[in-house]
Amino acid sequence: MIAAPSEFDVHLFHEGKLYQAHKLFGSHLIKKRSATLLTRFTVWAPHAVSVSVVGNFNNWDPGAHPLEKLNNEGIWSIGVERDLEGEVYKYSIQTASGDVVLKADPYAFYSELRPNTASIVYDTKGYTWNDKLYRQRVRRRRPVYERPLAIYELHLNSWKQKEDGSYYTYRELADELIPYIKDRGFTHIEILPLTEHPLDASWGYQGIGYFSPTARFGTPHDLMYFIDHCHQEDIGVLLDWVPGHFCKDAQGLYMFDGEPTYEYDTFSDRENIEWGTANFNLAKGEVRSFLISNALYWIETFKIDGLRVDAVANMLYWANSEPAAVNPYTIEFLKELNTAVFNEHPQFLMMAEDSTDWSNVTTPVHEGGLGFNYKWNMGWMNDVLDYMERSPFERKHHHHKMTFSLVYAYSENFILPLSHDEVVHGKRSLLHKMPGDYWEKFAQLRLLLSFMIVHPGKKLLFMGAEFGQYDEWKFVQGLDWFLKEYDSHAKTDVFTKDLLAFYLGQKALYQLDHEPEGFEWIDADNAEQSIYTFIRKGKRKSDTLVIACNFTGITYETFKVGVPMKGKWTEVFNSNRTEYGGSGHFHETNTETENVSIHNRDQAISISIPPFGMTVWKPYK
């Protein structure tokens, strides 16, 4: 016999407001003075006739440890008077139709390595964190909106593999990955989903164990070690998170007790046909408690710094509806999720991957918004890549694609993503997308990355682009690290490091990222030459940058640009330097303004504009 959860906890769970549901449900070691008295199992199975916990410890006998039904709404529990830490288990559920199904624990903290599918009793307590200084710095820092944010997106399976094709562990990645990120100047890493999932090819986006870090790379404590060491090197850790849909494998959440439990009741609402998954039923309080608890569990147990919420566009509208109809339960859920997160963790990052034109995604809930603090700018990504893939001679006819984003740049807090989705399934790598010969491809990759850095918005780059991965993302094997032995790729790697160092050192590129005062066009209409000139501003006049981007292979030895102030200007960055693989058109000396009326200004500087290059100028102190 085990004490039932309190009536208040049960009420909150069913209402959708038990935000620590993982402390009640799942398997827990009940201890007294470090001695384990029993192992408690609690599960929600509202349609079940009976539930038992089975595992090696009872020879998988469903009659050995039946759970007691605690209320009429489907909460079952048992206390097994043994220390079962490390034991594998499942729930044996008899359905209303008389079938018996074996299910992994929805709240399990650890799971077997695929292809095995059982849950494992695991105590997440006991890891000693050493990132106190990092967390103190985060609390003291200015809001993220005024700071640089450069995210390195990666897939742990395929970032790097050992010679035999096996994966690096979380602890080994601490030694391999963290110095690499630190050396290149990224402020954060964003990891594709780490929730346990049965199929490698889903990249983690079709999960089963929402509370289980995947066993592919080690234990939950091993993941804590990795995150802890990221923090010690001042690197934030973001995770992709999928609250919209889940995998339909037999051991998972799908038809958990023989009937729709975590998913919608009707076929049309339930089935996510495009991905072969099931949509979470966000109308159910128990499902909202599950998901919001899950978000807080990752934050509080693993001390992550942000969640990128996947496929928000697919959540906002009912599945399979024609015409598209808004799902009001999603709106309610997202608002409740973000409110719960920011009430407890105001410095946290909640980022929406949303390709719709839904308004106020990054407006606080109390002001009528969905409550995220960032949204991926999918429109910018689509327009920029469409433009870059065109012949340089054709670009003048599509000049607006590079300027349109500034029409709406301040409608949300945007992240500019060049993500995994753009370099897979036949889309080619960023380098391979670029038209022209070998040299021109590398020059235009440098220009693309430069344009992302100087455009308003925070930055995200998928792994491999930093050194010019030529093949598209091959998620079954590691990146082509051997390419760095070749001159052009090695120089691209140097360029990326210098570009990020430049970004981190220039307040004009991040301080007013989300304020219209931080950007001003010099000439947005030079379609004939495919040259864009503009100004980025910080809070101080002396931080001002004048930027020129040339999207053709033509060199301009003398090009006049109107500037906002008189005096000497110095070139502070040039993507065309020889050490980056460029042709070497850059300025070694300062240039003085001329009293020339151009671009609606009475001062101008004469500069050299390199082919497929970006050059940046700053007032000389």
Backbone angles phi, psi at 41, to 5 degrees: -120, 130
Backbone angles phi, psi at 158, to 5 degrees: -120, 10
Closest CA to 72 of 44, 96, 105: 44
What DSSP designation does 31 have? E
CA–centroid distance for 136 within its chain: 23
Lookup: tokens for 583: 């042709």
Backbone angles phi, psi at 89, to 5 degrees: -160, 160
- The SS3 call for residue 362 is coil
Backbone angles phi, psi at 390, to 5 degrees: -85, 155
- Please check whether residue 184 is in contact with residue 167, taking contact to mean a CB–CB distance below 8 angstroms: no
Closest CA to 410 of 351, 455, 460: 455
d(CA 569, CA 590): 6
Of 353, 383, 472, 513, the active-site residue reads 353
CA–centroid distance for 150 within its chain: 12
What DSSP designation does 167 have? B
User: At 339, which amino acid appears?
Assistant: T
353 catalytic residue (yes or no): yes
Closest CA to 45 of 23, 78, 7, 19: 78
Lookup: tokens for 22: 């993982």
Could you tell me which residues come within 8 angstroms of residue 204 by beta carbon, excluding any fewer than 6 positions away?
155, 192, 193, 194, 195, 197, 214, 240, 242
Q: How many CA atoms lie within 13 A of 330 on its CB side?
A: 22
What DSSP designation does 507 have? G
Burial, 166: exposed, middle or buried (Cβ in 10 Å; 0-12, 13-18, 19+)? exposed
Could you tell me which residues come within 8 angstroms of residue 82 by beta carbon, excluding any fewer than 6 positions away?
38, 39, 57
d(CA 580, CA 490): 8
- The SS3 call for residue 229 is helix
Closest CA to 107 of 226, 268, 253, 248: 253
Start-to-end CA distance of the chain, whole Å, equals 77
Of 257, 310, 412, 466, the active-site residue reads 310
310 catalytic residue (yes or no): yes
- Please check whether residue 410 is in contact with residue 359, taking contact to mean a CB–CB distance below 8 angstroms: no
d(CA 57, CA 443): 62
Lookup: tokens for 301: 């147990």
Residues serving a catalytic function are 310, 353
